């Protein structure tokens, strides 16, 4: 990125002073909290404006996963950490294969727990990290950069495009500081931060909301949800055994104890237990029925109890 672009950062919305927080250091604790909260109230409306671009991104994500490819979140600093967070939550929540969603962050794993802000300045590092992760044609690369000018993210998107990936660019400014050829441009224009330039605040919140929307909607479209119940969750602890049993109870009409027993018979798979109960199948038969239905529970059991 050239020197002129770097100078122009002062014109970024996320770098401007917020008039609603002038002299915030003179306010009481309660007044500071109210000021922050008032700004946060605007974020959902901002994300709503991005729904067309988010829709396009979800459609690309579903297509990639259905065709055996993957989704890569790429970011630096807070943006990178949020991408890693969202990708990490997919396997336990939806029993998604661990390689479906992956997060790449400038500076690598150490940057998750320690600030390595200088790592974002080298676009070639993104190319190296993507090669090491095995990014290939058909994957979806979602670059996340509040400033819309992070060299690491821009480099990832440009490299992804060059090798045939689909690309989406999530920014928190009205337009990219540096134009990038992408398939979807997700604009989350949250305006100036309460603390000038602190994009871990409104920008981070908007980014978290948008990533949740992308991954959750993608999982719904791939049959990981029945009604509004996460039937494909991975039972890995006592909390999830309880949740899984209650989901089975709700859908099948079994008692809680019967549902828990069925869950154990299904080797911890909620959707397998549901099919076993409602279709009177053994575990192997239920798994086969779900495989034939591409994992979509509703295609096997139909509509149950208005769900």
Q: Which residues are catalytic?
A: 89, 120
Supply 131's token pair.
């090669």
Distances from the Cα of 181 to the Cαs of 9, 143, 167, 267, 292, in angstroms? 20, 12, 8, 46, 39
* Distance in angstroms (rounded) separating the CA atoms of residues 77 and 83: 10
Supply 278's token pair.
């409602």
Residues whose CB is less than 8 angstroms from the CB of residue 65 and which lie 6 or more positions away in sequence, other chains included: 71, 100, 218, 222
* Distance in angstroms (rounded) separating the CA atoms of residues 13 and 9: 9
If you search the block for the tokens 């109960």, which residue do you land on?
A: 277
Within a 10 A sphere around the Cβ of 5, how many other Cβ atoms? Answer: 12
Strands (E) across the chain are located at 71-75, 101-105, 140-145, 166-171, 184-187
SS3 state at 303: coil
* Distance in angstroms (rounded) separating the CA atoms of residues 286 and 178: 52
Distances from the Cα of 55 to the Cαs of 77, 81, 103, 202, 287, in angstroms? 26, 23, 20, 22, 31
Q: Residue 305 belongs to what H/E stretch?
A: none
* CB of 183 closer than 8 Å to CB of 23: no
Closest to 235 in 3D by CA, of 227, 246, 226: 246
* Distance in angstroms (rounded) separating the CA atoms of residues 244 and 92: 12
Closest to 91 in 3D by CA, of 105, 81, 83, 101: 101
């Amino acid at each position: 990125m050239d020197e002129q672009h770097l100078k122009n950062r002062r014109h970024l919305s996320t770098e401007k002073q917020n008039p609603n927080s002038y002299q915030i250091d003179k306010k009481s604790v309660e007044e500071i909290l109210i000021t922050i909260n008032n700004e946060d109230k605007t974020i959902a409306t901002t994300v709503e404006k991005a729904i067309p671009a988010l829709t396009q991104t979800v459609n690309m994500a579903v297509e990639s996963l259905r065709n055996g490819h993957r989704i890569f979140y790429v970011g630096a600093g807070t943006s990178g950490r949020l991408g890693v967070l969202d990708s990490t939550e997919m396997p336990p929540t939806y029993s998604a294969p661990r390689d479906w969603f992956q997060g790449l962050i400038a500076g690598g794993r150490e940057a998750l727990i320690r600030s390595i802000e200088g790592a974002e300045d080298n676009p070639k590092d993104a190319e190296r990290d993507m090669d090491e992760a095995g990014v290939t044609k058909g994957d979806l690369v979602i670059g996340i950069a509040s400033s819309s000018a992070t060299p690491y993210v821009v480099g990832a998107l440009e490299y992804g495009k060059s090798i045939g990936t689909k690309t989406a660019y999530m920014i928190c400014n009205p337009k990219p500081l540096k134009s990038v050829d992408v398939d979807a441009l997700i604009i989350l224009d949250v305006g100036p931060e309460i603390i000038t330039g602190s994009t871990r605040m409104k920008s981070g919140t908007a980014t978290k909301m948008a990533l949740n929307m992308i991954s959750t909607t993608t999982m719904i479209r791939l049959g990981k949800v029945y009604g509004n119940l996460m039937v494909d969750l991975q039972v890995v602890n006592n909390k999830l055994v309880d949740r899984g049993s209650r989901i089975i109870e709700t859908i099948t009409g079994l008692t809680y104890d019967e549902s828990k027993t069925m869950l154990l018979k299904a080797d911890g798979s909620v959707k397998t237990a549901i099919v076993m109960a409602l279709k009177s199948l053994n575990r192997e038969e239920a798994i086969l029925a779900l495989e034939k239905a591409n994992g979509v529970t509703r295609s096997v059991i139909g509509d149950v109890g208005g769900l």
